[in-house]
Amino acid sequence: MKEVFDLFPTLVMAFKDVIPSNEVNDIFKKLKEYKTNDSDSALVHGRSSFSTHKNILLSLDLEERMQEKVNEYTDYIKLKPLTITNSWFSIQNVGGMLKEHIHGTSILSAALYINVDEKSSPLVFENPNPHARFNYEDICEERCLYTSPFRSLYPQKGTLVIFPSWLRHGSMYNSNLTPDRTVISFNAHGVY
């Protein structure tokens, strides 16, 4: 008799078409008009509202819908309720990248894709097992769920991806090839 234990899985949820395409296009036009700065240290060749707009979801009347998806995530894994605490957007130029990083002061983080296409750089998650990259390099016939050092999600317009804030993510040196690749990001914390 065999028993399999998938120890310590990490939940990443993707919600497709959270925002209908006509609304996504309107949001994209609005975001392009916002004044921003280049102070987001994780972003290469682009601009971000990280330090200038603390809650872009509220400005765009999206916070309630995004909070519903956060609630779905927390319900699924039996977390206490979390509240969206800050949100911002970034617009990457062609050749831009997102440096690998975590959101160390949050519980959950998310990316809502506004302007992406098949040429957009993926969202890449690093396996939290530090040995996965090295131990299986030469002995794997094919990488799988248990041996992959990275997992890539290719963005689609109107899709929301929610993940634990401690999960290291970025574009892993994949250059963006979409003009004005636009993402709204947010964090959620417990308010107890």
SS (H, E, C) the chain: CCCCCCCCCCCCEEECCCCCHHHHHHHHHHHHHCCCECCCCCEEEEEECCCCCCEHHHHCCCHHHHHHHHHHHHHHCCCCCEEEEEEEEEEEEEEEEECCECCCCCCEEEEEEEECCCCCCCEEEECCCCCHHHHCCCCCCCCCCCCCCEEEECCCCCCEEEEECCCCEECCCCCCCCCCEEEEEEEEEECC
What pLDDT shows up at residue 53? 65
CA distance 50 to 64: 20
Task: State the pTM of this model.
Answer: 0.92
Is residue 167 situated within a structural domain? yes
Is residue 109 situated within a structural domain? yes
**Residues in the chain with pLDDT < 70?**
37-39, 52-53, 132-138, 192
Is residue 192 situated within a structural domain? no
Domain count, the chain: 1
Is residue 50 situated within a structural domain? yes
What pLDDT shows up at residue 137? 64
Is residue 140 situated within a structural domain? no
Is residue 139 situated within a structural domain? no
Domain harbouring 44, CATH code: 2.60.120.620
Instruction: Convert the pLDDT of each residue in 81-134 to its tens digit.
Output: 999 999 999 999 999 999 999 998 899 999 999 999 999 999 999 988 877 666
CA distance 37 to 73: 32
What pLDDT shows up at residue 29? 96
What pLDDT shows up at residue 167? 97
Is residue 88 situated within a structural domain? yes
Q: Which residues contact 25 (CB under 8 A, 6 or more apart)?
A: none
Is residue 75 situated within a structural domain? yes
What pLDDT shows up at residue 149? 84
Domain assignment of residue 98, given as a range: 13-28+40-128+149-182
